[in-house]
Amino acid sequence: MNLHIKTLENDARRRRAAHASILMCAPHHFGVDYIINPWMENQIGRTDVSRARDQWDNLRRHLSGCANLAFVTAESGLPDMVFTANAGLVLDGVAVVSRFHAKERRPEEGLFRQWFDRQGFEIAAWPEDVAFEGAGDALPDRARRLIWCGHGWRSSDLAPRLIETIFDWRTVGLKLVDPRFYHLDTCFCPLPDGSLMYYPAAFDEASLAAIRAVAPAEKRIEVSETDALGFACNAVEVSGRIFLNACSDALKTRLAAAGFAPIVTPLSEFLKAGGAAKCLTLELNGGALS
Ligand code: ARG
């Protein structure tokens, strides 16, 4: 009986959690106050607050047309909290809260944990000493029911096994070798038709071989260095629309041929901190409105 009630409660909590699809955090306290990736070098104190606000609002407006949005309250003194992709990894009502490698971002952990808890997500246990920066380094590939996990800079190479155990989805670890592409979502983007958009030079040889072993050539959308540096892979896909900071004509054509509509939403202020569209969002369930 008790067990039955518990199951019903959990179902209700999950349904509530499933209502919102994308988590964002307003850039009230955004800025570059310290340096934890190469993009932040020489950018301390150089962000334009009102331009950042406009760019973020523009992305929010676009997304609100096709997804449910939820917001976590920004906290002063935590300038990177706007990058909710790093709050954790959420799948099927279960959240793994990030364990930041970057000590400057550790105070965000408790705030994100509290948000997930209050929204009714089940919070999975995670070891203290294994760094994991959430959906910045763990990208679900729904077409294959696998999670691509980046490591090498921020998240531990132990994270993929733990994620696999928690969610019962297969994981494939990818080693990141270029410090400019320090999170997997800066250089890799699985799309719902099984296409993978990525920048090959950000990965070591074994990882490139792993990608090729999973995705046939026609599903591999390799982007140029220019597109990679414009954070084209840091894209948010919702219902066939792909929101991204910048996109060359060649990449637009390639994405359109795969059936997607690229929509450019400039996010130059956030690039100063090393983030763009995907970093500013966290997928909470399946993406689109049902
Ligand atoms: N300044 C932030 C950091 O270095 C940017 C995070 C970008 N987020 C992402 N998912 N790639 O942690």
Of the chain, the percentage scoring pLDDT greater than 90 comes to 91
| Cβ 284 under 6 angstroms from ligand 1 | no
Report, as an integer, the average pLDDT of 107-111.
98
286 pLDDT more than 70: no
Centre of ligand 1 from the C-alpha of residue 221, in Å: 23
Nearest 5°: phi and psi at 278?
Answer: -60, -40
User: Rounded CA gap, 176 and 164, in Å?
Assistant: 20
Position 14 pLDDT exceeds 90:
no
What's the chain's length in residues?
290
Q: Which of 197, 193, 127 is nearest to 158 (CA)?
A: 127
| CA–CA dist 96, 230 (Å, integer) | 29
Helix (H) or strand (E) holding 262: strand 261-264
Q: Which of 11-15, 137-141, 197-201 has the lowest mean pLDDT?
A: 11-15
Question: Does residue 15 have a pLDDT over 80?
Answer: no
Q: Looking at the CA of residue 36, tell me the nearest atom of ligand 1.
A: 4
Residue 18 confidence (pLDDT): 39
pLDDT average, residue stretch 206-213 = 98
Average pLDDT along the chain: 93
Q: Ligand 1 atom closest to Cα of 85?
A: 10
Give the tokens for residue 107. 């105070």
Ligand 1 atom nearest to CA at 135: 10
**What is the 8-class DSSP label of residue 134?**
G
pLDDT in tens, 68-104: 999 999 999 999 999 999 999 999 999 999 999 999 9
Residue 8 has pLDDT above 90, yes or no: no
57 — pLDDT class (breaks 50, 70, 90): very high
Instruction: Report the percent of the chain where pLDDT is more than 70.
Output: 91
Residue 279 is among the residues annotated as catalytic for this protein: yes
Question: What CATH number labels 3-283?
Answer: 3.75.10.10
Helix (H) or strand (E) holding 260: none
State residue 17's pLDDT score: 40
Asked about 62 being catalytic, the answer comes back as no
Q: 132 vs 42, 85, 152, 158, 272, CA distance in Å? A: 26, 12, 11, 9, 22
Choose the catalytic residue: 101, 183, 187, 247.
Answer: 183
Q: Which atom in ligand 1 lies closest to the alpha carbon of residue 83? A: 8
- Cα(260)–Cα(254) distance, rounded to whole angstroms? 9
pLDDT in tens, 226-265: 999 999 999 999 999 999 999 999 999 999 999 999 999 9
**Residue identifier of the C-alpha nearest atom 6 of ligand 1:** 275
pLDDT band for position 285 (50/70/90)?
confident
Torsion-angle region of 283 (φ positive above 0: left; ψ -120 to 50: alpha; else: beta):
beta
Mean pLDDT of 165-173: 97
Return d(Cα 232, Cα 199) in angstroms, integer: 9
Beta strands, E only, 17-137: 22-24, 69-71, 88-91, 94-97, 122-123
> What's the pLDDT at 151?
98
47 touches ligand 1 (CB under 6 Å): no
Helices (H), the chain: 2-19, 49-64, 108-118, 159-167, 205-214, 225-229, 249-257, 268-271
Q: Exposure pattern of 236-247 as b/e (b: 16+ CB <10 Å)? A: bbbeebbbbbbb
More confident residue, 8 or 66: 66
> What's the complex ipTM?
0.98
Of 152, 202, 149, the C-alpha closest to 173 is 149
Assess contact for 276 and 231: CB atoms under 8 A: yes
Centroid of ligand 1 to alpha carbon of 30 (angstroms): 12
Compute the distance from residue 61 Cα to the ligand 1 centre, in Å.
22
How many C-beta atoms lie closer than 10 Å to residue 26's C-beta? 16
Q: What proportions of the chain, in percent to the nearest 5, are helix, strand and coil?
A: 40, 20, 40
pLDDT exceeds 80 at position 289: no
CA distance 46 to 241: 31
Q: What's the CA angle centered on 56, arms 54 and 61, to 5 degrees?
A: 90
- Among protein residues, the one with the nearest Cα to ligand 1's atom 8 is 279
Question: Would the CB of 83 count as within 6 Å of ligand 1?
Answer: yes
Supply the DSSP string of 155-194, one letter for each residue.
S-TTHHHHHHHHH--EEEEEEB--TTS-SGGGTEEE-TTS
46, pLDDT greater than 60: yes
pLDDT (0 to 100) of residue 41: 98
Q: Which residue would you say has higher pLDDT here, 16 or 159?
A: 159
Q: What is the pLDDT of residue 2?
A: 44
CB-ligand 1 contact for 231 (6 Å cutoff)? no
Evaluate whether 245 touches 277 at the Cβ level (below 8 Å).
yes
Q: Note the pLDDT of residue 232.
A: 98
